Amino acid sequence: MPGPGGKLGLIAGGGALPLEILRACDIAERPVFVVRLKGMADPALADFDGVEAGIAELGKVIKALKQAGCASICFAGIVARPDLGALTPDLRGLAALPRVLAVAKSGDDALLRAVAAEFEREGFIVEGAEQVVADLAIAEGPLGACAPSPAHQGDIAVAMRAARAIGRLDIGQAAVAARGLVLAVEAQEGTDALLRRCAELPAVLRGAPDARAGVLAKAPKAVQDRRIDLPTIGPATVIAAARAGLAGIVGEAGALLIVERARVIETADELGLFIVGLPPEPAQP
């Protein structure tokens, strides 16, 4: 039977998350219509019922979703921040552009909220990926066979504090700490590039495969709309963290999405990395 939200419109960028959502909807017998963002979506998505559209072709997307009978939409996948001056919007996109441009300089989260609001104006319900896919988000505790030792707790705390701090500034969602020091924080380059930078640091700072040290922490931004762009890891994240000599990855329980969970666990166990869900940050008074 279709899911509780009825037919889903999946607005898909790059990476494996859109395919994960499609697999889950297939199992749940929930119909899906896929909007493939031009130049970003995985070519494999062309095999599914849907349409390809440019990121500013809002009218085309809305019309296609309504004709397909979608009541809800879900944003999923990697979407590079566009060059707003180079966009070629359709008429509906032009109508939205002033509202989008007004918040674009406030950060990625404000931009995503503005885009989501345009779909809500058209009557769509916005669902988060973790609402669509059961068990997509990490729970509290270790995900695989490896667990952090007491010696790792300091780096876990430092890395999470740094990740949450840059999130409050709408800069990024990830940070790396080792031996009590913050080694790197994420900005526009993304987590993969962050880990590549860490891999180029001296081993005495970050550790090595035979003497791992340090933690990658990912945390949602304090004010972000949690239906969109929650922190995500997959097997490639685990491999990149291992190449950087890190000992593990942590995230906030309920707010770190695990794509290809079985492969993530298998890869982490093989490489000897821990992956842990931490309690959510206490609410600020």
**Can you give the CATH number for the domain in which 176 is found?**
3.40.140.80
Burial tier of 245 (Cβ tally within 10 Å: 0-12, 13-18, 19+) = buried
Measure the CA–CA gap between 5 and 30, rounded to whole angstroms.
9
**Which pLDDT does position 106 carry in this prediction?**
62
Full domain range(s) for residue 78: 8-132
Residue that is last in its domain, among 71, 98, 132: 132
> How many domains does the chain divide into?
2
**Which pLDDT does position 33 carry in this prediction?**
97
Which residues have C-beta within 8 Å of that of residue 38, sequence separation ≥ 6? 52, 53, 54, 55
pLDDT at 53 over 60: yes
Residue that is last in its domain, among 132, 156, 171: 132
Is residue 285 in some structural domain?
Answer: no
Residues 119 and 146 in one domain: no
Overall average pLDDT of the 173-189 stretch = 92
Residues 83 and 146 in one domain: no
Residues 54 and 105 in one domain: yes
Residues 64 and 31 in one domain: yes
For 194-214, write each residue's pLDDT tens digit: 999 999 998 888 888 888 999
Residues 203 and 244 in one domain: yes
Residues 172 and 227 in one domain: yes
Measure the CA–CA gap between 190 and 93, rounded to whole angstroms.
27
Residues 241 and 160 in one domain: yes
Residues 265 and 164 in one domain: yes
pLDDT at 160 over 80: yes
Residue that is last in its domain, among 77, 101, 132: 132
Residues 208 and 252 in one domain: yes
Measure the CA–CA gap between 88 and 63, rounded to whole angstroms.
17
Percent of the chain whose pLDDT exceeds 90: 61
pTM of the model: 0.85
**Which pLDDT does position 115 carry in this prediction?**
84
Overall average pLDDT of the 100-116 stretch = 73
CATH number, position 53: 3.40.50.20
For 110-122, write each residue's pLDDT tens digit: 777 888 888 999 9
Residues 160 and 273 in one domain: yes
Is residue 2 in some structural domain?
Answer: no
Residues 150 and 125 in one domain: no
**Which pLDDT does position 48 carry in this prediction?**
94
Residues 203 and 265 in one domain: yes
